[in-house]
């Protein structure tokens, strides 16, 4: 599995905790398989893990789930674009951008 495949799978999945479980598992695999980019995968792993922990036993509105899937996709797309460039400085900047955007968000995961 590649990061791009994980992004595509998440984008095609229904909003909800199952999609975050799959994303978390994909990031765990990528951490092992592509340790050069482990920090990227660990960042997303943490977001996905937190979402599952917070919402797996709670009923959330469809709008809440959709909004947060869109937010996660924005993070994933930012990181995926940087990974495609194979430039460490751009990847580092993309990670910083995601963290700053997260800090400015409602922090749902």
DSSP letters, 39-96, are: HHHHHHHHHHHHHHHHHTTS---HHHHHHHHHHHHHHHHHHHHHHHHT-HHHHHHHHH
Chain segment 35-46, per-residue pLDDT in tens: 999 999 999 999
Please give the tally of structural domains in the chain. Answer: 1
109 within domain boundaries: no
40 within domain boundaries: yes
Q: Quote the DSSP letter at residue 1.
A: -
Range of the domain at 8: 3-104
Instruction: Please give the model's pTM, rounded to 2 decimal places.
Output: 0.95
Chain segment 62-91, per-residue pLDDT in tens: 999 999 999 999 999 999 999 999 999 999
């Amino acid at each position: 599995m590649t990061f791009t495949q994980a992004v595509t799978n998440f984008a095609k999945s229904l909003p909800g905790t199952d999609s975050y479980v799959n994303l978390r598992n994909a990031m765990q695999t990528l951490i092992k398989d592509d340790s050069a980019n482990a920090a990227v995968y660990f960042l997303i792993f943490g977001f996905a893990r937190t979402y599952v922990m917070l919402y797996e036993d709670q009923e959330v509105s469809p709008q809440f789930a959709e909004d947060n899937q869109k937010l996660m996709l924005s993070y994933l797309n930012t990181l995926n674009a940087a990974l495609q460039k194979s430039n460490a400085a751009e990847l580092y900047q993309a990670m910083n951008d995601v963290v700053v955007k997260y800090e400015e968000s409602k922090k749902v995961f």
